[in-house]
Amino acid sequence: MIGEAAEAIHSGQVVGIPTDTVYGLGVDPLNQEAVSRLFEVKGRPEHIPVGLLVANVEQAKSIGEINGVGEELAMEQWPGPLTLVVKPRVILSDWVGDAHLRTVGIRVPDHLLARELLERTGPLAVTSANRSGGKEALSDTEARRIFGEEVAVYVEGKCPGGEASTVVDVTGDQPVILRKGPIQI
């Protein structure tokens, strides 16, 4: 299943993946057509950017500037419900991160299957598996009911749901909490 999902990602398709919070939809963040398809499938407004999931700190550093306090937080809290807002090291597709601020949110999910997929594909642009504004799916079964054939591959798995990640901007000298969550900074 992971191999099939990785192939779908590499061919520009949308894939369903379980995470440590909710079930997600992911695509290659460097493939503009794939990102556009993700927004189309979800019905997500283009002005609401998506963030990235990565397999580990090293992968995060390959795509974003993570150093100083950001690196300390990553080493202490990843994998887990902490999103770090950083400056990207690569040119991302439109709607991945905030183009105006030139930032992107990056997180390492605490879910073995998600990290296994991310190790094979590299970073993924991911959003929750629901129609924009709807209830988030917590399993591949629920996501399949919502999206059917619009998603190429559904990696099997259930997600615990729960609180959204803590979001911390580490682009400046001091960390700034943008959204409170389960991680206390």
The pLDDT score that the predictor gives to residue 124 is 98
CATH of the domain at 31: 3.90.870.10
Assigned domain for 172 exists: yes
Assigned domain for 41 exists: yes
Q: How many domains does the chain have?
A: 1
Evaluate if residue 160 carries a pLDDT over 90.
no
Assigned domain for 81 exists: yes
The pLDDT score that the predictor gives to residue 1 is 85
Assigned domain for 185 exists: no
3-class state of residue 182 by DSSP: coil
Question: Which of the residue ranges 28-37, 44-53, 76-85, 148-157 would you say has the lowest mean pLDDT?
Answer: 44-53
Assigned domain for 6 exists: yes
At 72, the amino acid letter reads E
Average pLDDT, the chain: 94
CB 148 within 8 A of CB 62: no
Looking at per-residue confidence, does 162 or 136 come out higher? 136
pLDDT digits (tens, 9 = 90+) for 57-112: 999 999 999 999 999 999 999 999 999 999 999 988 888 999 889 999 999 999 99
CB 75 within 8 A of CB 82: no
Assigned domain for 67 exists: yes
What residue numbers bound the domain in which 49 lies?
A: 2-179
Evaluate if residue 47 carries a pLDDT over 90.
no
3-class state of residue 145 by DSSP: helix
The pLDDT score that the predictor gives to residue 161 is 79
The pLDDT score that the predictor gives to residue 163 is 77
Name the percent of the chain in helix, strand, coil, to the closest 5: 30, 25, 45
| Cα 27 → chain centroid | 9
pTM over 0.85: yes
The pLDDT score that the predictor gives to residue 110 is 95
CB 130 within 8 A of CB 142: no
Assigned domain for 115 exists: yes
Assigned domain for 184 exists: no
